[in-house]
Amino acid sequence: MKKNILDLNNYVTITKNNSNIYEPADIVNICKRRNNLKRDFLFVNSLQGKHLHVDPCKIFALYDELVKSIIKSTTQNEKVIVVGFAETATAIGHYIASSLSNCIYYMQTTREQIPNATSLLEFKEEHSHAMEQFLYGDISELTKCDKIIFVDDEISTGNTVLNFISEIEKIGIHVKYGVASLLNWQNDEWSDKFEKLNIDTYFVLRGKLKDLNVKVPISVSDEMHVSPNIMDFPKVLVARSDISNYSKERIGSKPYPLSGFSEIVYSTISSTLNDHMPMVGDDVLVLGTEEYMFTPMIFAKELCDKLHTNVQFHATTRSPIETADRIDYAIRTRYPITSCYDYTRKTYIYNLRKYDKVYIITDVIPNSNFIIDISSALVNAGCKIQDIIIITMKGY
């Protein structure tokens, strides 16, 4: 192995870069999985807006690279349905759906069970730490399209996509398929299989994994456990929205065009915040929660554009990743956070720092354990409790 143990080239050979603005090292970091016996390393995306905080303009610039790849090989006459995979690709999928003028329906998988809704299908990701996923939506919409495009942040083989196609075809849907991902690590066998099955692939980076058994030989650091000694709690505000809320995001619908969606999201949240909006030049963090990323990400981008504030975005996640106290390692600190959706579930937030304003945008009324955990972590990182606002997007 090369002297730099975290060099991307030790783990994958990059064969194609479709980005005109980013080099592979700008996009991908090598990190160490936590408590995973199957594979020690994982790829953490610097620009995706999930595990690492990032300027939302850079997120959308990366997403646009993937959109361009799809547009190049999709005719405007094709009616497309986009399916985003939870947890990490819901924002990517929604962005693609809202950016394609020929997308007639957007769906996302979810690990949440929606009250009073019937799942079209459910499936398992054998490699995942959270296995069950559900898909909610109108089955009649699937019969109207020419192509279904599945969206993930990364595919190593494509087996999950094939399992998903199998389940869809069991309910009587037979169309053309494609899969879009920021990273595609399919080997020749899997690439040939997809080609024979006439499944299109779209990606930003493509490469071949070198050795699935390679280790990340670093000394890991301890998790940040913070005593909940805060004397006050952040404000919890409710924003009413019929385009973005708990059920709307998880039950399929025709996507709003990106510009229209952005304007509605910004006006809805900013009017709810009222006198809690940031000042010009403030250092701002916008946080999403688990699967709920697209709307808070849009708000972060609009804040940056309209108020010229310094905005960073990322989200809580179920993904457990090891931390290390070394300058060349992407994830330095990890805080355990009770899920705002389920007080029995642990989630994580990485690399928190001091901000002038923090907006946590979610789609449920968060439980008290979540509020205490996330507030304690942010205060520990240097934020002031009075500068932390939680906004819940609720339907009418």
How many angstroms separate the CA atoms of 85 and 320, rounded?
Answer: 18
CATH number of the domain where residue 382 is located = 3.40.50
74, two tokens: 């999709």
- Whether 128 shows a pLDDT value over 60: the answer reads no
Of residues 94, 174, 179, 171, the one with CA closest to residue 139? 171
pLDDT for the residue 387: 96
Q: Does position 198 have pLDDT exceeding 70, yes or no?
A: yes
Tally Cβ neighbours within 10 Å of residue 240. Answer: 12
Predicted confidence at residue 126, as pLDDT, reads: 52
Distance, CA of 68 to CA of 63 (rounded, Å): 9
Contact 217, 4 (CB under 8 A): no
Q: Is the pLDDT of residue 127 over 80?
A: no
Indicate whether 17 belongs to any domain: no
pLDDT-derived band at 129 (thresholds 50, 70, 90) equals very low
pLDDT digits (tens, 9 = 90+) for 242-281: 999 999 999 999 999 999 999 999 999 999 999 999 998 8
Tell whether 57 is covered by a domain.
Answer: no
- CA separation for the pair 282, 277 (Å, rounded): 10
Number of domains present in the structure of the chain: 1
* Spatial CA neighbour of 216 closest among 10, 356, 372, 72: 10
Look at the block and give the residue holding tokens 């020690």.
40
| Residue whose entry in the numeric block shows the structure tokens 């997809």 | 194
In this prediction, residue 124 carries a pLDDT of 61
Q: Average pLDDT over the chain, rounded to whole?
A: 93
Q: Distance (Å, rounded) from C-alpha 12 to C-alpha 184?
A: 11
Q: pLDDT for 333-359, tens place per residue? A: 999 999 999 999 999 999 999 999 999
Q: Is the pLDDT of residue 376 over 90?
A: yes
Range name among 55-64, 133-142, 311-320, 362-371 with the lowest pLDDT average: 133-142
384, 357 Cβ separation under 8 angstroms:
no
Q: Which two tokens stand for residue 75?
A: 């005719």
Structural domain that includes position 272 = 235-394
- At 49, list the tokens: 């807006």
Name the nearest CA neighbour of 348 among 263, 266, 289, 293: 289
Position 2 scores a pLDDT of 44
Q: At residue 115, does pLDDT exceed 90? A: no
In a domain, residue 56? The reply is: no
Assigned domain for 261 exists: yes
Which residues share a beta bridge with 235? Answer: 389
pLDDT band with cut points at 50, 70 and 90 for residue 125: low
Token pair recorded at residue 277? 């909006």
Report the C-alpha gap between 284 and 195 in whole angstroms: 45
Q: 33 pLDDT exceeds 90?
A: yes
Measured on CA atoms in the order 341, 42, 81, 70, is the torsion positive or negative?
positive
In a domain, 385, yes or no: yes
* 3-state SS string for the chain: CCCCCCCHHHCEEEEEECCCCCCHHHHEEEEEECCCCCCCEEEEECCCCCCCCECHHHHHHHHHHHHHHHHHCCCCCCCEEEEECCCCCHHHHHHHHHHCCCEEEEEEEECCCCCCCCEEEEEECCCCCCCEEEEECCHHHHCCCCEEEEEEEEECCCHHHHHHHHHHHHCCCCCEEEEEEEEECCCHHHHHHHHHCCEEEEEEEEEEECCCCCCCCCCCCCCCCCCCCCCCCCEEEEEECCCCCHHHHHECECCCCHHHHHHHHHHHHHHHHHHHCCCCCCEEEEEEECCECHHHHHHHHHHHHHHCCEEEEEEEECCCECCCCCCCCCCCCEEEEECCCCCCCEEEEECCCCCCEEEEEECCCCCHHHHHHHHHHHHHCCCCHHHEEEEEEECC
Q: What pLDDT, on the 0 to 100 scale, is given for residue 123?
A: 67
Judge whether 22 lies within some domain.
no
Q: Please give the average per-residue pLDDT across 226-253, as a whole number.
A: 90
- Is the residue at 286 inside a domain? yes
Within a domain: 328: yes
Of 11, 385, 355, nearest in space to 207 by CA: 11
Q: How far apart are CA 252 and CA 260, in angstroms?
A: 18
Torsion sign over Cα 45, 50, 51, 55 = positive
pLDDT band at 38 (very low <50, low <70, confident <90, very high): confident
**Which residue type sits at 265?**
V
| Statement: residue 113 has pLDDT above 60 | yes
| 25 alpha carbon, distance to own chain's centre | 20
Whole-number Å distance between alpha carbons of 251 and 246: 9
Alpha-carbon distance 352 to 373, whole Å?
13
229 pLDDT more than 80: no
List the strands of the sheet with 310-316, edge to edge.
Answer: 235-240, 388-394, 357-362, 283-289, 310-316
Residue 240 has pLDDT above 70, yes or no: yes
